Structure 1
Amino acid sequence: MSTVLIVVALIVGFAAIVAAVLFTGPGKASGRGGLKRRFGPEYDRVLARHDGDSKAAERELGERVERHGRLRHEPLPDEKREQYVAEWAALQERFVDAPQEAVAQAERLVARLAQERGYPEGTRYDDQVDALSVHHAHAIDGYRRVHHAASDEGRGASTEEMREAMVGARELFERLILAHPEDTGGHDDRTTRGTGRNRNFSLRPKGSGA
């Protein structure tokens, strides 16, 4: 075989490999095991919504990864962190006297924080939740619950249900507050809190004495 034919064959083979990688994409290439590990309880939730159809569930989750997997996490200055922490602390105190109001404000606060960290706007709730589920799958359920409790449909929720929604939303709030862009690595990191540069950051507002 001539040198020219060998070079042509190598180029064709390389092009085929590149095409295969581009076709599979980050979501499809991970396969069922990769998606299940990445999404955890979110995988089970989507699977149940698709009545146990694993192919449909994996297709949806794979599409989420393709849309949001390369999302750039915006840094959050320490002064901004302190401001958000103080707002959350005030909401927890307000919950005692006005739980419904506190829940509604907590939902808006998490949505605003997520947007500031680079996620879609809170007004695009479904798109924002999909993006958050790619990077914080183990904490997204609390945000859904507080969103429901703050909606017209959730106005019949008991005080205990609203309290549980606040507790769940706080987990995502903490992750968004503490996570630095390099900590997430493009996926949910359950070890973010108290590690690396976050070790010295407190969730208590300065001067609170708590």
Structure 2
Amino acid sequence: MQTNVVLVIAIVAAVVLAIGIVLYLMGRARANRRTTALRDHFGGEYDRVVHAHGRHKGEAELQARLQRRRELSIHHLTPEQRERFGKSWESAQAKFVDTPSAGLRDADLLVLQVMRDRGYPVEQFEDRAKLVSVDYPELVEHFRAAHSVAVDNEQDGASTERLRQAMVDYRYLFDEMIEGGEPERTKDL
């Protein structure tokens, strides 16, 4: 009798242990898939955020960005808006030739206007950068770099070469934003 009880207890314990191991492995696999999906989507931004916050908090931050972006109604620009913004960009570039600081200031404001017209919240730069990282992860560093130069330029001035690079960085994002609609890839993560 005692042998049977011990045997039953051992079998139940083995089954419970096996179920626990399977559940643990399934959780790990799900976490690995989430990590891979986030890394694939965000690219270098994933590494930057995880380095700053740690893997768990960093991934939670990126998931929150995705959720925030899903809640927004981002839309295409009309052909008229694209044409108007294109002309405004040409004007900013022309101004840059004679007055680089003013040209960059115009480019900074123009990117802000495009974002506003497409439906992005524009109150705080860091919020804009986070949303750009969702829709345009390959461009967010250009956006941050350009904005940093624009801020430096307003405070202390910046070299013409830094202003030129900021103008190029803004152009990358500007081009994508005036042509783009709602990226489909944000819906799948």
Q: How does the TM-score come out when normalised to structure 2? A: 0.74
Q: Secondary structure at the match of 1:80?
A: helix
Identity %: 33
Shift of 1:72: 2.2
Does the CA-based 8 Å contact 1:69-1:134 persist in structure 2? Answer: no
Q: Number of residue pairs matched?
A: 156
Q: 1:163: which partner in 2?
A: 164
Shift of 1:69: 3.1
Q: 1:9: which partner in 2?
A: none
Q: 2:151: which partner in 1?
A: 151
Tell me how far apart the structure 2 counterparts of residues 48 and 175 of structure 1 sit (CA, whole Å): 27
| Residues 135-154 of structure 1 deviation map (CA, whole Å, 9 limit, x = unaligned) | 11111222212211121476
Deviating 4+ runs (over 4 angstroms): none
Does the CA-based 8 Å contact 2:65-2:131 persist in structure 1? Answer: yes
Larger Cα-atom Rg: 2
RMSD: 2.2
Tell me how far apart the structure 2 counterparts of residues 186 and 119 of structure 1 sit (CA, whole Å): 17
In structure 1, stretches of 5+ residues that fail to align are: 1-27, 189-210
Tell me how far apart the structure 2 counterparts of residues 162 and 43 of structure 1 sit (CA, whole Å): 27
Q: What is the identity, as a one-letter code, of the residue corresponding to 1:143?
A: F
| Residues 157-180 of structure 1 deviation map (CA, whole Å, 9 limit, x = unaligned) | 221111111111111111111113
Q: 2:131: which partner in 1?
A: 131
Shift of 1:87: 0.7
Does the CA-based 8 Å contact 2:150-2:166 persist in structure 1? Answer: no
Does residue 185 in structure 1 map to residue 184 in structure 2?
yes
**Structure with higher RCO (Cα < 8 A, 6+ apart):** 2
Structure 1 141/82 Cα, relative in aligned 2: closer, same or farther at 3 Å?
same
Tell me how far apart the structure 2 counterparts of residues 70 and 185 of structure 1 sit (CA, whole Å): 14
Q: What is the identity, as a one-letter code, of the residue corresponding to 1:101?
A: A
Q: How does 1:1-210 map to 2 (within 5 A)?
A: 31-50=34-53, 53-121=54-122, 123-152=123-152, 155-181=156-182, 184-187=183-186
Tell me how far apart the structure 2 counterparts of residues 30 and 135 of structure 1 sit (CA, whole Å): 20
Q: Secondary structure at the match of 2:186?
A: coil
Shift of 1:187: 3.4
Q: What is the identity, as a one-letter code, of the residue corresponding to 1:71?
A: L
Does the CA-based 8 Å contact 1:104-1:149 persist in structure 2? Answer: no
| Residues 52-75 of structure 1 deviation map (CA, whole Å, 9 limit, x = unaligned) | x22222121111112113432223
Larger % of helix: which?
Answer: 2
Structure 1 139/109 Cα, relative in aligned 2: closer, same or farther at 3 Å?
same
